Amino acid sequence: MDTEAIPDLPEVDELSTWLVHELHDMALGDKRLDRRLLDTGAKLAARPSVSINQACADWADTKAAYRLFDNAKTTAEKIRAPHYRRTRERAQGHKRLFAIQDTTYLNYTHHPSTKGLGPIGTAQQNLSGIVMHTSLLMTEQGLPLGLAGQAIWVRPPTMHQRTADERRKLPIEEKESSKWLQALQQTQAVVPPEAQLITIGDSESDLFELFHQARTLETDLLVRAAQNRSVCAPEVGRLWEVMGRQAACGQLQVLVPARKGKPKRQASVTVRFAPVSLKAPRHLRKKMGDMPLYAVLVQEEAPPAEDPPLCWLLLSTVPVHRFADAVERIRWYGLRWQIEVYHKVLKSGCRVEKAPLAGVERLMPYLALFSIIAWRLFWMTLVARHAPDVPCTLVLAEHEWRALYAFHHKTQQVPARPPTVGQVVLWIARLGGFLARKSDGPPGVTVLWRGWQRLTDIASAWLVFHPS
């Protein structure tokens, strides 16, 4: 890691080591500004749930942080650029990668003094905020490698003045749904060319233009169908009816995540699949031909009385020739839930909607920085499940794991050999209130971000008493 380009960089132990590695080659256009971003970013990463005032050491540091986000050179694009490079480095060697795309809305209605916000939600809700669309790169096992693309924007105040029909007739370039196409191009620039890239999206991503772009770029898609499109081959009819006529090829048990007060549950589903050729919408037929895809219909036949039946119709560019292929596509789509957990970390763990910044121009770089911090918290939660036996130096600096070991074991005798990732993540979770009972399962993101903040204070005290 080259840190010579950043003047007066303090000892790495005084900063978040991982953040220095992640952003060390940034180029904001002023080396002092680069140094300030690392310093401020380290303080925010150490205490992601608190305000800027609480995270900074004193009033001078606090003013410097606000000036950092107010500086025209501190742009969201420049902050994300080195992180994209690290994401690409982590992606090396993987034969297959998944880009999970999703949109979230950041609500700043409770900050009326923040200037430049736009409408979110419906016209009746009268909410103000920012729209964020993120592409999160993941391994086939579900480990997040980093962001592969992100766009943050403000909707125009006149957005709700157009009718739904008027918005539908706009070209894709003038629609907000173009975010899916732009993110697909962004992701391709991050992923190594030798890896198979499969972009996954929910029903909002069921856009004929997106399938056309994926065919043009020679990349793969897996999306949940929303449109009952016309099928022209090998059968003729509407998509849902055509798939309903296919013979069931097997049954499967799938996990339905908890939603809106309902606990997670197992669902028994029937699986059907078939190749389909979708006819282009009438206004696109001159530019785009029929679209050959593979469809997988997942239906719950006997849901609980109080729950709606689970029903997914998945469309993919990746061939499905047998039941095992269909099961694999269903498992891939199950990864999509991870980006919703990531957004939970960003909103609840990092509390970005609480930021009292004066305007959107300051919020953009702030959100870009916290998007990287939130990825790190999320990654640390999952890496313990994927690689529990590797040395903890993968996730902690030396003074951090030594302080954690001494605090957890209530001893001053720290071993020369570092513990494993699985061990330290469990100890951090216990700092955050995790009970580690047999029935508890692995720790989640909430207890980890609570524990991480406590570890920061413990590690700072360790440095005071062990300066060597």
Q: Name 58's Cβ contacts closer than 8 Å, sequence gap at least 6.
A: none
265 CB neighbour count, 10 Å cutoff: 14
pTM metric for this prediction: 0.90
Task: Indicate if the pLDDT at residue 135 is higher than 90.
Answer: yes
Domains of the chain: 1-74 (1.10.246.40), 95-346 (3.90.350.10), 387-465 (1.10.740.10)
Instruction: Give yes or no for a contact between 172 and 403, defined as CB atoms under 8 angstroms apart.
Output: no
Give pLDDT, residue 58: 85
In contact, 254 and 334? CB cutoff 8 Å: yes
Residue 237 in tokens? 């009819």
Q: What is the pLDDT of residues 411-468, one digit of tens each?
A: 999 999 999 999 999 999 999 999 988 888 888 888 888 898 899 889 888 988 887 6
Secondary structure (H, E, C), 128-148? EEEEEEEEEEEECCCCEEEEE
What separation in angstroms does the CA of 67 have from each of 70, 72, 345? 5, 10, 26
Q: What is the torsion angle, in degrees rounded to the nearest 10, for the CA atoms of residue 33, residue 39, residue 40 and residue 44?
A: 150
Angle at alpha carbon of residue 260, lines to 256 and 262, rounded to 5°: 55
Rounded average pLDDT over 106-117: 92
Q: How far is the C-alpha of 405 from the C-alpha of 182, rounded, in Å?
A: 45
Render pLDDT for 358-415 as a digit per residue (tens, 0 to 9): 899 999 999 999 999 999 999 988 988 888 999 999 889 888 999 999 999 999 999 9
Residue 226 has pLDDT above 90, yes or no: yes
Cα 232 to chain centroid distance, Å, stands at 36
Per-residue pLDDT averaged across 335-345, rounded? 94
Percent of the chain surpassing pLDDT 70: 94
> How far apart, in whole angstroms, are the C-alpha atoms of residue 220 and residue 200?
9
Is it the case that residue 327 has pLDDT exceeding 60?
A: yes
pLDDT tens readout for residues 258-277? 777 778 888 899 999 999 99
Is pLDDT above 80 for 8?
no
Give DSSP secondary structure letters for 145-185.
Answer: EEEEEEEEE---TTGGGS-HHHHHHS-GGGSTTHHHHHHHH
Number of neighbours of residue 250 by Cβ within 10 angstroms: 14
* Residue type at position 228: N
Per-residue pLDDT tens digits for 51-89: 898 888 789 889 999 999 999 999 999 999 999 999 999
H helices, E strands: number in the chain: 15, 12
Report, as an integer, the average pLDDT of 313-327: 97
**What pLDDT is stored for residue 448 in this prediction?**
87
Give the pLDDT of residue 2.
44
> Are the CB atoms for 365 and 76 separated by under 8 Å?
yes
pLDDT band per the 50, 70, 90 thresholds, residue 10: very low
Check pLDDT > 50 for residue 160.
yes
* Alpha helices in 152-287, H assignment, sequence order: 164-169, 178-190, 208-217, 239-244
Q: What is the SS3 assignment for 77?
A: helix
282 in Cβ contact with 237 (< 8 Å): no
Does residue 4 have a pLDDT over 70? Answer: no
- Reduced DSSP (H G I as helix, E B as strand, rest coil) percent helix, strand, coil of the chain, to 5: 45, 20, 35
Q: Are 146 and 82 in contact (CB under 8 A)?
A: no
